[in-house]
Amino acid sequence: MIPVADPAAMAALAAEHVMARISENPGRIAICLTGGSSPKQLYQLLATDILRSKIPWQRVHWFIGDERFVPADDPLNNMGLARALFLDQCAPASNIHPIPTSTADPADSNRGAALYEAELKAFYGVDELDPARPLFDLVLMGVGPDGHTASLFPGFPAVDETQRWVVGVAKAHVEPFVPRVTLTLPTLASCREMLFEVAGSDKRAILTRTFAGENLPANRARSNGETVWLVDQAALPEDFRG
């Protein structure tokens, strides 16, 4: 766990991690973004001239770890936010991989999940994840007040899924109460680095429980490579305060 002063410092350090993972891979790069408010400042930083000019945009593919099952242009759409903050200005459209949410049945998140699983498998090239060849270079994550991460909510069967790469979740545990689509733990784990960003005093209680080892999705989400937690001062549990 790396403590940082505030959300601005956290975004700056997260951007360093993004840039380091990009520079380590001379080939095709895959980054899995996250929803929620925590990554906003990072996304804005990636669009600034200094970083934008250093990213080999043609080689970087952008995925999303979970999606709220709302239309792509709905303000609640996770990939929509990332597009608005940096992707649409910077990335080739064919390198942006949103979870489809426009199926005939607006509640059919399972269909969106199946389509995204097929897209991830096509990108990866085979249907089985090989621990020696991670799907993603970097996976960004956040933590919800109930200990969820991505759209893996405590006690939901999606948390225990081991076969499917992506699943539909009929109803979220927290706002917004819309169906979700989420990558499963084994899929998210298939990365060189998983990077959590957690900020704000309203996260201190759940981080205290998480770091105490409670069985929560946020605790079970681990990279097969490196897992890094960035936590700002306001969110830092009492035991970790200097």
Binding site for ligand 6PG (CB under 6 A): 34-38, 66, 68, 78, 142-144, 148-151
Terminal CA-CA length for the chain: 14
- Minimum CB–partner distance for residue 129 and ligand 6PG (Å): 21
The smaller minimum CB distance to ligand 6PG, of residues 56 and 176, is found at: 176
Query: In a 3-state reduction of DSSP, which class is residue 147?
Result: coil
DSSP annotation of 55 reads: S
The smaller minimum CB distance to ligand 6PG, of residues 36 and 52, is found at: 36
The smaller minimum CB distance to ligand 6PG, of residues 55 and 152, is found at: 152
The smaller minimum CB distance to ligand 6PG, of residues 57 and 177, is found at: 177
d(CA 135, CA 138): 9
Question: 180-183 and 66-68: which strand pairing?
Answer: antiparallel
The answer to whether 173 and 154 have CB atoms below 8 angstroms apart is: yes
- Minimum CB–partner distance for residue 127 and ligand 6PG (Å): 25
Owner of token pair 């350090």: 13
Report the candidate in 185, 84, 187, 88 with the shortest Cα–Cα distance to residue 134: 187
- Minimum CB–partner distance for residue 140 and ligand 6PG (Å): 9
- Minimum CB–partner distance for residue 147 and ligand 6PG (Å): 10
Owner of token pair 């242009």: 73
Tokens of 207: 């981080």
The smaller minimum CB distance to ligand 6PG, of residues 134 and 142, is found at: 142
- Minimum CB–partner distance for residue 212 and ligand 6PG (Å): 19
